[in-house]
Structures are given as structure tokens and as C-alpha cells.
A and B are shown apart, each in its own frame.
Chain A
Amino acid sequence: MAEKKPVIEFKDLTFHYQLQEKPALKNINLTIYEGEYVAILGLNGAGKTTLQLCINGVIPNMIYGDFEGDVIINGMNTQEYPTRELAKVVGMVFDNPEFQLTQTSVAEEVALGLENLGIPTEEMRGIIDEALETVGMDGLQERSPFALSGGQQQRLAIASALAMKPEIFVMDEPTSNIDPIGKEEVIAVAHKLNKEKHMTVILAEHEVEVIAQFADHVIVIHEGEVILDGTPHEVFAQVETLEKIGLRVPQVTEFAYKLEHQYGMKIKEYPVRIDEAEKFALETFKKKQ
């Protein structure tokens, strides 16, 4: 296996928002490698957003507080680079698609970042079309962002960040305010960014089944601390730990857990995805009574 490059490193990070006694993040030590699809799981207020804002440098450059430790993005220490420099490496979208849009047309929205970077006007069109194509919205260039569906708006926000050609893409609960079809569209784009465009994707999400299906690295945050850090199988196997902090596991995992703990069955590895659950069922329940 090729030597994987760490693209995000958290080193002993502790952060207090201004005038807050309780730290929002405590002793965070994490390494995320190039090309990973990382899911961040935690209760409301656990620190997911705070953690993500440390990746693109908004914390500590735009939001002030007591920042101890280091966050290194692609070799750059976030305390030494302005947000606009980090914006070229880290793209980010947030949980309310409409709140991120301001322009009168889709194309202009995507152009916003390009204008700020001083990209020549002649080059803009190509970049915009490419970004829109990646999110499946090529052809909607002249539409008003506010006439789009929730899923389309969020994909537009993604395209707008994509135009800056980042290597890392951070998504803070991008599907929590959209309808199911839109949710599927956005998750599909995230998957595409990771698998086809080879971006490192960081996704904060509540739906554990989605996490299990797509992520290869899961980080669980509780009250500002990292409680679990591993593959979906490693993390979701810790059913009791998760339950204690108020989180649940994928239903098929819960199923396997109950079979083991309530019905004494010996199970080697709990399934987390539907396909492996089907296989698990076929192997476990061999003879029909």
C-alpha cells in the first residue's frame, strides 16, 4: 500500500470560544490522510462545527478565542496563513444551503470565489462549467439561486467552493435542511468528490446509516473530545459506548448486537452496511426451521 500523506493534523488542540469557560474542543489529536472520507459524528453542540471550522482556518483567524495547539493543513499551520489562502486548499459548505447564496445567477455564485482570487474573466467560464458539471447542474447557469430546490442550492454551494479547486472538502451537516431527494443528490456528490476527484472529504452527519455506507474513517466527538476514531466497523462495534453518550448505531449493527448480547449468538464482526448485513443474515441463519 502506497505511503499515504497526512493532509490534516490536529496536534493537542484545545479551543475556548471567547469568554467561555468550558472548552469547545479539548486535547484533539487526529490525523487524516489524503483521499479519506471522514465522517464526524456527535450530538448537537458536541463540537463538530467547531472542529471543522478549525480545518479551513476560520478558527482562529476569523472567530476569536483561546487557541492552543496546532492544526496543520497540507503542511500549512492554520495560525500562520490567512483564511483566503487556506480557502484554496479547503472548500466548505454549511447546513443551510440558502444562507450561503447571494448572487443573482448560478454562474455568478460559482464565480464569486474566482473573482476574489483574481482569476481572469476569460478563464472563468470554463471553470464554472466544470464545477457545475461535477455537481450535476450544468445548464442551470442563468437560473436564480433562490429559485432552486434545497438539494440544488446545496449543490450550488458545493460547486461554488469547488471552483477554487480545493483538495479537501468539508461539509457541515449539509443535508439537515433538505428533502430526501436533495439529500441523496448531495450525498452522491460527496461520494463523487471522494471517489472520482480524489478529494479528502470530511462530513458531519447524524444519519449513521449514511456514514456507514460511504465513510472509511469515523470520528466520534462528545463534549469537545474525541471518543472514538477508526473505521466504521471499529467505531460502530462500540455499541455501548455510543449509547452512553446518546448516539445510535446503524440498525443492522444494532440487530447483530442484540443477537449477540440478548440471544447469546457468537458474532465475529457486526455488519454496518446493508449489503454485508444481507450476507451476514445468509451466513448466520442457515437452516430454515
Chain B
Amino acid sequence: MRGAVIPITMVPGDSPIHKIAPLPKLVWSFGVLIISFMTRNPAILGTIILAGLVLTTVAQVWKPMLKVMIVLFPIYVITIFLQSIAPAFPKPWTAIIGFGPFTIYQEGIYSGITMFGRALGMTIFAMVTIMTTHPSDLFASLEKIGMPYVLNFILTVTLQLIPILQREFATVLSAQKSRGMKGTGFGAVLPSMVPVFVGAIERVQQLSISLESRAFGSSGNKTSYRNVVMRAKDYIIMVSGFLAVGATAYWIIVDKSLDWSRTLTFSPTLALSLVLVSMAIFGTFVTIALVKVLKA
């Protein structure tokens, strides 16, 4: 299972993005989230994606970003197909072309593309934030604005545990294969889960005693080792984030012409090609994934 881990973790680096404090980055990421849900305008969503890609370049995290996208992109892309035949959109729908037993709708393509754009934009921003921010700094910042310490601790431990449990699971699988277990089906995976759970429980037991022995859970003043300093430029970035989100939100609410859902039309060829391409990408992904799982 080496290398099968999706790198949703910090990527060490020295870029300008790395040097920004966690809070401003969080503000921008949440801002993107809010705006993405407020609008379906492809131009706005497209700008967000472009901005995200620019940030990825500045942060020099293309390699890990691509690794994440290899898994997520196909999953996002299939929404185009799904939406095109069953739009999550108020009727009436305008049919463009038939596709086997299905019909592809204008609104469907529009909806599919915008949903895809949303997911992609949010993910890119979230990933850039995660990849350029040390988790401890992130949690320490959150603690400063009111998140309880215990939550910080739980998040830190969980973060550490994920790769550990993955590794444990791989070991257990090896052990069961060494006992002749055939590797497919739910019935095969289940025997492997028990040892992993038991291991996790034992770990937690010893950990809790270890923590208790280090005065964990003391009431009273708790200090923090991690000291995140917000410099002037961090404040500027954070405030500009608030402003940008505020202004864009206002603009979206006020300017009705941003709703292109009835005005953007897709030719039958374009619509069909989009649907076929999305199915192809998704299909390839699923096939490769299945092959990997079965070969294991």
C-alpha cells in the first residue's frame, strides 16, 4: 500500500503562501466556499479556479495537488454526466439531444458544469491552504479565536492517527493474506478491521495513561508552545479577504444579470461531447481503481 496515500497534509516549503499566517488563508478559503455556493455564474467560478491555480503555482505544490486531483477530478467530473440527464434545477428544462434512454438538457449541462466548477474551486483553495499550513499552527490560530483546546488536541491526534491506522491496516492485510485469505469481498475486509480496532483501542488506553501522567486535563491556565504571530501583511490579507467576499456577495445578490442559466446555450455536439468525455474520465478512473484493488 505504499504510495497509495492521498497527500492531504502539509507539504514543507518556503513559498510566499507558506509564509502567510493560517487565519488569513482560512478566511480566503471560507470566502471562496461562501461565494461558490452563492452563484452559478461560470465566469466567477472560472476566475476562482484560475486564482486557485495561480496560488498553486506560487506555493509550488503542483505535484501533491495533481496527486489529489487524480482521485477527485474524475469524481467531480461525473457530475457533468449526472446533472446533464437529471438537472438539480427548477423546471422547465430544455432538451438538447437524446442520449440512449436519457435526454440531455440545457439546464443539466449548465448545472453540471457549475457544480463541477464549484467543487474544483473550493477544493483547490482548501488544498493550497492545507498544503501550506502546519496543522499545529492552524489549530493554535483557531484556539486563539476561541476553539477549545481539547478540540485542538483531538484534531492533532486524529491527523497523526490516519496514516498510522492506514499502515496498521496494510499490516493486517498482509497477515491475513499470509493465512491464505482471498482478498476480495466484504467478508474478507471485515476480519482485517477487528485487529485494527483492537490496536487502536490499546493505543488509546496507553496514550490516556501517558497523558494523565503528563498532567493532561489540568484545569487552570494552559499555555501554548506554538506561537503564531500575525504580521501586518497577514492582517492586510485577512481584511482584504473579508472585503473581497463581502463585495462579491453583494454584487451577486444585486446584479441579476449574473444568472446565465437561461441565456447560455450549448450546441448538441458540445453537450454530447462534454457528457461523453466526463463518462470516459470517470470510467477510466473506476477501472484503474478496481484493477488496483483486485490485484492487492
Contacts and interface: CB of A to CB of B under 8 A. Distances in A.
A–B interface present (Cβ within 8 A): yes
Contacts of B203: 96, 98-99
B271 to A, nearest CB: 48
- Chain B CB within 10 Å, residue with most, of A84, A93, A146: A84
Interface string B212-227: 1111111011111111
Interface in A40-70: 53, 56, 58, 62
Interface residues of A, number: 42
Contacts of B224: 115, 121
A77 to B, nearest CB: 18
A73 interface: no
Contacts of B259: none
Interface stretch (B97-105, B155-163, B261-269): B155-163
Q: For this complex, into which size category does the number of interface residues on chain B fall?
A: 20 to 34
A104 B160 contact: yes
- Chain A CB within 10 Å, residue with most, of B156, B215, B227: B215
B213 to A, nearest CB: 5
Contacts of A90: 213
A113 B225 CA distance: 10
Interface in B166-194: none
Contact of B215 (A87, A93, A157): A87
A188 interface: no
Contacts of A112: 211, 214, 216
A113 B214 contact: yes
Interface string B126-162: 0000000011100000000000000001001101100
- Chain B CB within 10 Å, residue with most, of A94, A116, A120, A164: A116
Contacts of B221: 118
B206 A99 contact: yes
Contact of A116 (B156, B209, B215, B226): B215
Given A94-B206, A99-B207, A146-B160, A111 B225 contact: yes
A98 B224 CA distance: 23
A105 B156 CA distance: 11
A44 to B, nearest CB: 15
A108 B226 contact: yes
Contacts of B223: 114-115, 118-121, 124
A220 interface: no
A94 B220 CA distance: 27
A102 B160 CA distance: 7
Contacts, number: 105
Contacts of B212: 58, 62, 83-84, 87
A104 B164 contact: no
A61 B177 CA distance: 43
- Chain A CB within 10 Å, residue with most, of B156, B210, B217: B210
Nearest to B203: A99
A146 B159 CA distance: 12
Contacts of A58: 209, 212-213
A210 to B, nearest CB: 22
Given A84-B217, A104-B159, A116 B222 contact: yes
B164 to A, nearest CB: 7
Interface in A233-263: none
Interface in A174-217: none
A116 B210 contact: no
A157 B210 contact: yes
A94 B136 contact: no
B168 to A, nearest CB: 11
Contact of A87 (B136, B163, B213, B220): B213
A165 interface: no
Contacts of B160: 101-104, 146
A146 B225 contact: no
B134 A104 contact: yes
A96 B136 contact: no
A113 B215 contact: yes
B207 A117 contact: no
Nearest to A86: B213
Contacts of B211: 102, 112
A160 interface: yes
Contacts of A88: 215
B156 A102 contact: yes
B225 A62 contact: no
21 contacts: A58-B213, A62-B209, A83-B215, A84-B217, A84-B218, A92-B210, A94-B209, A96-B203, A96-B206, A98-B164, A99-B202, A99-B210, A102-B207, A105-B136, A112-B216, A114-B223, A116-B218, A118-B218, A121-B224, A146-B163, A146-B164
Interface of A: 53, 56, 58, 62, 83-84, 87-88, 90-94, 96, 98-105, 107-108, 111-121, 124, 128, 146, 157, 160-161, 164
Chain A to chain B: the 5 pairs with minimum beta-carbon distance, closest first:
A111-B225, A113-B214, A84-B215, A118-B221, A116-B215
Given A108-B226, A112-B216, 17 more contacts: A56-B213, A62-B212, A84-B215, A87-B212, A99-B203, A100-B207, A100-B210, A101-B160, A102-B153, A103-B136, A113-B214, A115-B223, A121-B224, A146-B160, A146-B164, A161-B214, A164-B215
